[in-house]
Amino acid sequence: MPDALPDALLTLAGVHTHIAQYHILQGVDLTVPRGGLTMLLGRNGAGKTTTMRTIMGLWHASAGSVTLDGRDITAAQTPDISRLGVAYVPENMAIFAGLTVRENLVLAARSGPLADDRLDWIFGLFPALKKFWALPAGNLSGGQKQMLAIARAVVEPRDLILIDEPTKGLAPAIVQALIEAVNELKATDTTILMVEQNFHMARMVGDTVAVMDDGRVVHAGAMAELAADDALQTRLLGLSMDSHQ
Amino acid sequence: MIGTLLSGDLPRSKVLSVVMVAILLGLALAPFLFPGTRALNTAATICVFIVLVASYDLLLGYTGIVSFAHTMFYGIGAYGVAIMLDRMPGSWAAIGLGVAAGLAVAVALALVIGLFSLRVQAIFFAMVTLAVASAFMILASQLSGLTGGEDGLTYRVPRVLTPAFKLFQDKLFGVRVDGRIVDYYLVFFAALALFLLMLRIVNSPFGRVLQAIRENPFRAEALGYRTVVYRTVANGLGAGMAALAGVLMALWQKYTGPDTTLSLGIMIDILLMVVIGGMGTLYGAAVGAVIFILAKNYLQGLMGAASEALAGLPLIPHLVHPDRWLLWLGILFILSVYFFPTGIVGRLRK
């Protein structure tokens, strides 16, 4: 079990999750430090998305505990976890296609009307959202949908943002724009836990890293250490980061 | 002004705008444009069904809830007024009490059904509502002392709503304005107000959450919305609106029975009207109700006339024989679904 670090915002200790008869998470120990960006890496099927969904309460842990800022949220319902200041950006550009860009953001602003300064900041991060403000979100391109999904998560200040594979299926130019946006987001001291397959992005934005395999965290440490160690990358991920520039 | 009245939800299509204005004017002026008992009855039925179908679209189109209990709530509203008027004939107090009782029972029942069964998968909720609606229909048939059983209830409405009442001594635009026309306008304006209220609901922040839940309940939960609560409230709202539609039908027909309010046939008609008009748009409910009720009331007559006119030709007179009107109604439905998979309004708004 990981030590409960004084600056840990989120801690998973020995978390097991079953989906139907399948035992997906098999004792996940993970610590997400406050104020940084933690990358969650691993091969397909390692349990990264299930970890995110378990944190968010979309799947419930069958054993172990999930602690957010000292509060046990293992059995909490998803809306309650959201109200504690956790935002979730699922994979596959999860927006509400039938609603306009504006309506998508208004829905996510739970504490009241959209604040103008916050909106200006979001438009600075993602200018396309201003351009297509009144259009149904289903009409946006893949990259714009992903931007809207992230914008929805940051429309209000959050304690923790969970982002699942934001670059999946996106063109390199869009990925670069996302990297810049995430770096700006980091400057606000928001804590982020991000699942990513794109190692270039992981190295560019990650502060700490946890690598998963077979439903467990098999390595945790600084992102810079993993980025500098080709042998470790090959052992943990099966590939060198240099091959993913 | 119009934008405010329509809660900012304009038709967004020139053709649809023209169609909606035509429907509004046609219904508003029906007693003068289409004099005659049958035409007025058709117009009043359209008004009631616009409310009923729109309230069902609130569930199916906006929230993604498949319910088969909608006619039960419609029947509860109708029986509320019918039972009270049966006890206190011709009394406005009876109507007031009947509306309050019908509304309260319908909303309470919808909230109970919702809280207990909207947590489960959609198909199970649909089955639960089907079972409850069937049980309620049997109950209404068996409690003959209260509901009149299979025969239903025939009752007296206040005199101002009867043909014996004359609003003006002279004719207006060639039509004598009697209590029947007063009754029609009561139904028309109540239906208009309820329709505008539903437009307000679906375009409110609450309505946006319903649409988000319809698209993806997990994403809505991840934004902090308790989907069961929202679905249950939507179920209660839909039931309340359906009950009020039942009240209007009870006041118009002056008769309430299981076949005219609680039958599964009406439930299927409502489903067809929603699909033909277009799910997830209240204008679709209006268009679907107008087309379906006009077809149901006049298709048989039109086919009879066509059959006579084409009497000399081989085969065709048999094909358009009035007895086959249901077959042609079915074909019309299939064609409309084939050519307008998102409904007529969905297609017009593209």
ipTM attached to this prediction: 0.85
- First-to-last C-alpha distance (Å) of chain A: 34
| Residue count (chain A) | 245
CB of A78 less than 8 A from some CB of B: yes
> pLDDT by residue (tens digit) across B129-156?
999 999 999 999 999 999 999 999 999 9
Q: What integer pLDDT is reported at residue B186 of this predicted model? A: 97
Categorise residue B224: left if φ over 0, alpha if ψ from -120 to 50, beta otherwise. Answer: left
**In 10 A of CB B329, how many CB atoms?**
16
Q: Looking at beta carbons, which residues of chain A come within 8 Å of B226?
A: 77, 79
Q: What integer pLDDT is reported at residue A239 of this predicted model? A: 57
B205–A106 CB contact, under 8 Å: yes
Query: Is residue A86 one of the residues assigned to a domain?
Result: yes
> pLDDT by residue (tens digit) across B161-194?
999 898 888 888 888 889 999 999 999 999 999 9
Q: Looking at beta carbons, which residues of chain B come within 8 Å of A83?
A: 224
State mean pLDDT over A126-144. 92
Query: Is residue A1 one of the residues assigned to a domain?
Result: no
* Segments making up each domain of chain B, as ranges: 2-349
Kindly tell me if the per-residue pLDDT of A243 is higher than 80. no
Are A234 and A240 in contact by the 8 Å Cβ rule? The answer is yes
State mean pLDDT over B115-140. 88
Kindly tell me if the per-residue pLDDT of A3 is higher than 60. no
B2-349 folds as ABC transporter involved in vitamin B12 uptake, BtuC (1.10.3470)
Select from A77, A78, A92 the residue whose CB has the most chain B CBs within 10 Å, as the one to mutate to test that interface: A78
Q: How confident is the model at residue B2 (pLDDT cuts 50, 70, 90)?
A: confident
Q: What percent of chain B lies above the pLDDT cut of 70?
A: 100
State mean pLDDT over A137-143. 91
Query: Which tokens sit at B21?
Result: 């204005």
Select from B221, B226, B281 the residue whose CB has the most chain A CBs within 10 Å, as the one to mutate to test that interface: B221
Q: Which one has a higher pLDDT value, B37 or A94?
A: B37
Query: Is residue A2 one of the residues assigned to a domain?
Result: no
Query: Is residue A112 one of the residues assigned to a domain?
Result: yes
Q: What integer pLDDT is reported at residue A151 of this predicted model? A: 93
Distance from CA of A46 to the nearest CA of B (A): 22
Pick the residue from chain A with its C-alpha nearest to B212.
A96
Query: Is residue A41 one of the residues assigned to a domain?
Result: yes
Q: What percent of chain B lies above the pLDDT cut of 90?
A: 74
The helix-helix angle for B92-117 and B227-253 (nearest 10°) equals 150
Provide the mean pLDDT of chain A: 89
Q: How many domains does chain A have?
A: 1
- pTM for the full predicted model: 0.89
> pLDDT by residue (tens digit) across B54-109?
999 999 999 999 999 999 999 999 999 999 999 999 999 999 999 999 999 999 99
Find the CATH number of the domain harbouring A99: 3.40.50.300
* Distance, CA of A181 to CA of A126 (rounded, Å): 8
Chain A window 164-193: which residues touch B at a Cβ cutoff of 8 Å?
A: none
> pLDDT by residue (tens digit) across B219-231?
999 999 999 999 9
* Distance, CA of B254 to CA of B201 (rounded, Å): 30
β partners of residue A210: A40, A220
Chain A window 109-138: which residues touch B at a Cβ cutoff of 8 Å?
A: 110
β partners of residue A33: A8
Kindly tell me if the per-residue pLDDT of A245 is higher than 60. no
- First-to-last C-alpha distance (Å) of chain B: 25
B211–A82 CB contact, under 8 Å: no
Q: What integer pLDDT is reported at residue B207 of this predicted model? A: 95
Chain B window 174-233: which residues touch A at a Cβ cutoff of 8 Å?
A: 205, 208-209, 211-212, 214-216, 218-226
Kindly tell me if the per-residue pLDDT of A240 is higher than 50. no
The HSE-up count of residue A14 (CA atoms within 13 Å, CB side) is 5
Distance from CA of A96 to the nearest CA of B (A): 6
Q: Which one has a higher pLDDT value, A190 or A245?
A: A190
Are A167 and A204 in contact by the 8 Å Cβ rule? The answer is no
Select from A19, A59, A73, A96 the residue whose CB has the most chain B CBs within 10 Å, as the one to mutate to test that interface: A96
Q: What integer pLDDT is reported at residue B157 of this predicted model? A: 96
| Residue count (chain B) | 350
Q: Looking at beta carbons, which residues of chain B come within 8 Å of A99?
A: 208, 211-212, 215
List, in sequence order, every beta strand (DSSP E) within B137-237: 153-154
**In 10 A of CB B17, how many CB atoms?**
14
State mean pLDDT over B302-313. 87
* Distance, CA of A101 to CA of B3 (rounded, Å): 21
Query: Is residue A198 one of the residues assigned to a domain?
Result: yes
* Distance, CA of A137 to CA of B187 (rounded, Å): 39
Q: Looking at beta carbons, which residues of chain A come within 8 Å of B209?
A: 107
In one-letter notation, the amino acid at residue A125 is L
Distance from CA of A174 to the nearest CA of B (A): 24
Provide the mean pLDDT of chain B: 93
Query: Which tokens sit at A218?
Result: 């098999």
Q: Looking at beta carbons, which residues of chain A come within 8 Å of B350?
A: none
Q: What range defines the domain where residue A185 resides? A: 8-240
Q: What integer pLDDT is reported at residue A76 of this predicted model? A: 97
Q: How confident is the model at residue B159 (pLDDT cuts 50, 70, 90)?
A: very high
Q: Looking at beta carbons, which residues of chain A come within 8 Å of B61?
A: none
State mean pLDDT over A108-115. 87
Query: Is residue A116 one of the residues assigned to a domain?
Result: yes
Query: Is residue A245 one of the residues assigned to a domain?
Result: no
